[in-house]
Amino acid sequence: MRRKPQGVWTARLAAGLCAGQLAGCMVGPDYRPPADPPVTRYTREPLKNPSAADLIRTQQGGSADQSFVAGADIPGAWWTLFRSKALNRLVEEALAHNPTLEAAQASLRIAQQNVLAQRGTLYPTLTANPQALGAQAPGLDLQSPLQDQNRYLYSLYTPQVIVAFNPDVFGGNRRQIEALEGEAENQRFQLEAAYLSLTANVVTAAIQEAALRAQIEATKRVIQAQTEVLELYNKQLKLGQIAGADVVQQQAALSLSQQQLPPLEKQLAQQRNLLTALTGRLPSDEVSETFTLNTLHLPTRLPVSLPSHLVQQRPDVKAAESQVRTASANVGVAVANRLPQFSITATAGASAVRLAQLANPGAAFFTIIGQATQPIFDAGTLYRRQRASEETLNQAQAQYRATVIAAFQNVADSLRALQADAKAVAAASAAEKATGESLGLIRKQYAAGAVNATQVLIAQQSYLSALVTSAGARATQYADTAALFQALGGGWWNRTDVAPPPPETDPAKFL
């Protein structure tokens, strides 16, 4: 019978061991996804629409009437529901140039490459190890290894190939791969969380800028009205119609209003810096887009995901779940480390003093070495590491439950906030309407000579103060609407702008 070449037997041995380890056991707990919370709603009572602002239209941005659509899906580009082209451009620029998002993308690619690298441990490694040795043979009375006893200097050529393999008998390597896959999954949802946080921050900053502009404009109008009242009081004081205390009191009111303006202007400047930074620019390269409340349209139909879907939609919950998976796999790694470890090394090559002799069958050699190691005494080190891994799993499971509770709390808070916002907007709108009508009546009375100019200016000041309150209530409603989209996960599962990974250009990536 013809003898098969040694390389064939080595390859078959390696293939058999690979198949054996892939079908072998895996110690440690098998991961099972946590069950969804058994709830059917976010609040104690059934979901109610924020009906207090029904049919209300404000001067700062149209309709304030909102309603919840239970079970509706959230679009991936949820910010487009505010119907602002300037906001859409700013969000797109932030997604394209924000360095924090780029860092999160790189972190995901790092984790993915670590998974691929660890998968390589399931296969044998093949290493070429050519050697050339220059040596001097022993002389005198010692026997020279050379045929020519008068020759002492010689060269020895030994090209060889080494195949090394560590059979994963108890699944330690596979559990390590599973742990790294959990880390990659965690980084994936960390990226989605960074994406959602960035878009929400841009939208919230734009809303805040719009609110600050409305407050600054209303404050300036209040200051102007108070200045006119003060000028009138000064004239009446000179005519002896009022006491000096009235002038002092009005001067104090004007000073208080003037004190409110610089902090608002500072906040607006800082808000502009924030928007610029979110787009990846330096403050000197400020964005050109500006925002006012009347250029942002409030989304009136708000999708509210089913509670049973929330844990699958929140990036932070999915990231916490992946941490549980990683911790579970690490328990298996720790258990496997306490069990026997196996390794097999096969070497095949040839050795000769002349290159031409390497083709001679007599120059060939091979070795196969199998090795097994089993910890016998380590003062409990491996056991304690296993116990630490088990406690880490308990910690990850508890942190997952805490994250789920926080997620439901965020949604419930946002729903309650929008219901309260509707009442605040309704009250502010009613005050705005009442003070506006009062101002109109007093102006008519002033035209008829029934009231003096002071009463007109005071009524005008009350109306402008109501405008400031109304603008703040309206801005809060906008911001809480964005917070609801963020609390529900932001629709990342409907994204269509996922950047492809960079191409791999290394021609020797398997070496």
User: Does the pLDDT at position 509 exceed 80?
Assistant: no
Mean pLDDT, the chain, rounded, equals: 87
Q: Within 10 Å of residue 380's Cβ, how many Cβ atoms? A: 10
Q: How high is the pLDDT of residue 485? A: 96
Compute the average pLDDT of residues 409-419: 95
What's the token pair of residue 103? 């860092």
Longest dimension (CA), the chain: 140
DSSP-based three-state secondary structure for 383: helix
> Number of C-alpha atoms within 13 angstroms, CB side, residue 271?
22
Q: Within 10 Å of residue 85's Cβ, how many Cβ atoms? A: 10
Compute the average pLDDT of residues 85-89: 95
Residue 368, φ and ψ in degrees, nearest 5: -130, 125
Share of the chain above pLDDT 70, in %: 89
Under the banding of pLDDT at 50, 70 and 90, the label for residue 388 is very high
What's the token pair of residue 278? 């979110």
Share of the chain above pLDDT 90, in %: 57
CB 250 within 8 A of CB 226: yes
Model confidence over 210-237: pLDDT tens digits? 999 988 998 888 888 888 888 888 888 8
Under the banding of pLDDT at 50, 70 and 90, the label for residue 103 is very high
Residue 18, C-beta contacts closer than 8 angstroms, at least 6 positions apart: 122, 123, 124, 165
Q: Within 10 Å of residue 475's Cβ, how many Cβ atoms? A: 24
Which of 417, 405, 410, 404 minimizes the C-alpha distance to 490?
410
User: Does the pLDDT at position 169 exceed 50?
Assistant: yes
Domains, the chain, in order of start with CATH, read 37-119+174-321+390-494 (1.20.1600.10)
- Least confident range of 16-25, 360-369, 417-426: 16-25
List % helix, strand, coil for the chain (3-state, nearest 5).
Answer: 60, 10, 30
User: Does the pLDDT at position 502 exceed 90?
Assistant: no
Under the banding of pLDDT at 50, 70 and 90, the label for residue 61 is low
Model confidence over 233-287: pLDDT tens digits? 888 888 887 778 878 888 888 898 899 899 999 999 999 999 999 999 999 999 9
- Rounded to whole angstroms, the Cα distance separating 130 from 133 reads 10
Q: Within 10 Å of residue 335's Cβ, how many Cβ atoms? A: 23
Q: How high is the pLDDT of residue 197? A: 96
Compute the average pLDDT of residues 364-383: 93
Under the banding of pLDDT at 50, 70 and 90, the label for residue 294 is confident
User: Does the pLDDT at position 460 exceed 60?
Assistant: yes
pTM attached to this predicted model: 0.84
- Secondary structure letter of residue 121 according to DSSP: G
CB 422 within 8 A of CB 50: yes
Which of 302, 298, 271 minimizes the C-alpha distance to 425?
298
- Rounded to whole angstroms, the Cα distance separating 427 from 269 reads 30
More confident residue, 118 or 453: 118
- Rounded to whole angstroms, the Cα distance separating 83 from 155 reads 81
